[in-house]
Chains A and B, each alone.
Chain A
Amino acid sequence: MMDLPTFLVQCLNAVQYGLLLFLLASGLTMIFGIMGVINLAHGSFYMIGAYLAFVLTPLLGGSYVLTLFVGTLLAMALGYVLEWLFVSFLYERDHLQQVLMTWALILVFEDLRSTWVGNDVHGVPTPDWLAGSVQLGSLMSYPVYRLFASGVCIVLATLLYWTVNRTRLGMMVRAGASNRDMVRGLGLNIDLLYRWVFAVGVALAALAGMIAAPMSSVYPGMGSSVLIICFVVVVIGGIGSITGALLSSMLVGIVDTFGKVFFAQYSGVGVYLLMALVLIFRPQGLVAARR
């Protein structure tokens, strides 16, 4: 068994990873839950975010906050344009066509990245003011950056929850989810609304990638590997449910982190076993939403 400090550190790691996953999964589940589009390219946005961090940091003089800010704006713009040109086409299509179109989008993104930035593995430096570790109690120290990452995720999660569940905007979005034409009939510009929802989803994914960049490396396959975990999170949590996504992100974070510690070689399988278990007892996910 592990000693207490190590255990606590791993717990914090699990929470931090879980929160990052939540950022990604909430975007995915929102886009599916509200707009009915299954987006395989979601992982690509994560990858794009990380590469954006890599490219922008030297351009913006190394200012981390500025990089995050500009990167998020760029990602939102990308999402906006993409929805307008491409995703809006997918709303009335069946799932198979959506799968294939977004799969093709992944190929396009991979190639563009390959052409413009190359296929090398990169690192993004941790900003000075977030570097180092901080003493937590008398037992252990923990990297400041990871605390920062968790903090940002918590703030965003709260904002997201509050917006979707407590504001009129969120109400419109949720109404649009159940009946698009009806909402349009009421005079609300549902097309614009969907465009923004998608843009926000993309921005969240990219932001997750930017935050993750200093912790893990920036490499070509990062989109694919995170996408599948995202899917698992959404399946376990229940499609369309942000609460479910939070719950399952945490579960997955715990299983994955502690899995790596105890079962190094087979840790990758742990998350799928969790999913299998959930499917046996609650096929609709932990928090069943309407769709």
Chain B
Amino acid sequence: MSKHRLVDALLFAALASLPLWASGYVQDLATKVMILALFALSLQLLVGVTGLVSLGHAAFLGIGAYVTVLFSPANEAGNLLALMLASCVAAGAYALLVGVLSLRTQGVYFIMVTLAFAQMAYFVFHDTQLGGGSDGIYLNVRPALQMPGVMLDLENKLTLYGGVLIVLLTAYLGLGVLLRSRFGAALQGIRVNEQRMRAAGFNTFSYKLAAFVLAGALAGLAGFLLASKDAVVNPELLAWHESGAVLLMLILGGLHSLRGALVGATAFTLLKELLSSEALLGSVAAHWQLTLGLSVIACVVFMPRGIMGLSKT
């Protein structure tokens, strides 16, 4: 285990120092990867830890992002802390609603129901004027926070990068602690055999609901960061292609550890960048859907335990 910790520390150091030695493009890409890694972590809590395969997780990311933009003032920076909190709470609230309704179902039903509820959220933002319709909306000024002595302004790319890194690290370590706690142990027991957990006296429904809401809130946090980075939101954030993509990140990286979520998010994002890069692949880049689809199939067939699983052999 301490070998893994060493690797963690090295990677963190590398990421922390990245702005010093990397180009603007790479820094931007790294920010995107880290935000998606947070998103993947939140889903790993559901899929890898508790065994709940949700195909509608993008809804919570989207809600977090939309709340950030909708509650930001039109022409000045919104309060960073307030917006971050609002995103988490809004996403968590929707997760509570969806969870209560869908966690009474099992297996395939659950997958379908989570997908349907995500689609419902997609419709709200796509078809109604609540969120500017299918075009989305722009965030004119990114959030900021005036603290005694220092101004944290997300318009500053370096501040944004640092902020995302710290949030990711905190979430990663925090989830690690959670997993080793009684709550985490119970979630894993539920994944292996929910019936036995019930027979022992666990109220498995409330454990699952708690995990679902926490995962939703974390995804909302990722949404806040995404909106702050891109300064634009559109309904496609909630599309089920995104839900499928994040699920893929997990199976790519490996379902059996938190690290798997991070590895998977990185690998997937880089893979997609690669496959759609005209500079590298010329005209094949236009067919990124085909190449991505075939890659996914290959991954599922040849690496059922993901990249992290390869190192265990």
**Which positions in A face B, CB cutoff 8 Å?**
32, 38, 40, 89, 95-97, 99-101, 103-108, 110-112, 114-115, 224, 228, 231-232, 234-235, 239, 265-266, 268-269, 272, 275-276, 279-280, 283-285
Contacts and interface: CB of A to CB of B under 8 A. Distances in A.
B296 A100 contact: yes
Nearest to A38: B108
B293 A107 contact: yes
Given A114-B289, A224-B240, A231 B104 contact: no
Closest 8 CB pairs of A and B: A107-B293, A111-B290, A104-B296, A272-B120, A268-B123, A111-B289, A108-B293, A104-B293
B248 A272 contact: no
B294 to A, nearest CB: 7
Contacts of B301: 89
A38 B293 CA distance: 17
Given A104-B293, A104-B297, A224-B240, A99 B287 contact: no
B127 interface: yes
Contacts of B115: 228, 231
B294 A108 contact: yes
A105 B107 CA distance: 21
Interface of B: 47, 53, 55, 101-102, 104-105, 107-109, 111-113, 115-117, 119-120, 123-124, 126-129, 240, 244, 247-248, 251, 255, 287, 289-290, 292-294, 296-297, 300-301, 304
A285 B104 CA distance: 12
Interface of B is mostly: helix
Nearest to B98: A276
Contact of A231 (B102, B116, B290, B304): B116
18 contacts: A38-B108, A95-B107, A95-B111, A99-B53, A99-B244, A101-B297, A103-B244, A103-B296, A107-B293, A108-B289, A228-B119, A231-B112, A265-B128, A268-B123, A268-B126, A269-B120, A269-B123, A279-B101
Contacts, number: 114
Contacts of A232: 112, 116
Contacts of A279: 101-102, 104-105, 113
A115 B287 CA distance: 8
Given A108-B294, A283-B105, A99 B112 contact: no
Nearest to B287: A111
Contact of A103 (B104, B124, B248): B248
Contacts of A265: 127-129
Given A99-B53, A272-B119, A239 B109 contact: yes
A133 B104 CA distance: 47
Given A276-B101, A279-B113, A107 B289 contact: yes
A278 to B, nearest CB: 10
A96 B120 contact: no
A32 B109 CA distance: 11
A38 to B, nearest CB: 5
A112 B124 contact: no
Contacts of A115: 287, 290
Contacts of A275: 113, 116
Contacts of B112: 38, 231-232, 234-235
A211 to B, nearest CB: 24
Given A100-B296, A228-B116, A272-B117, 20 more contacts: A95-B53, A95-B107, A96-B53, A96-B251, A97-B251, A97-B300, A103-B296, A104-B292, A104-B296, A107-B290, A115-B287, A224-B240, A228-B115, A235-B116, A239-B109, A266-B128, A268-B120, A275-B116, A283-B104, A283-B105
B116 A99 contact: no
Contacts of B119: 228, 272
B244 A100 contact: yes
A264 B255 CA distance: 42
B55 to A, nearest CB: 6
A260 to B, nearest CB: 11
A280 B289 CA distance: 38
Nearest to A89: B301
Contacts of A276: 101, 117
A100 B102 contact: no
Nearest to A28: B112
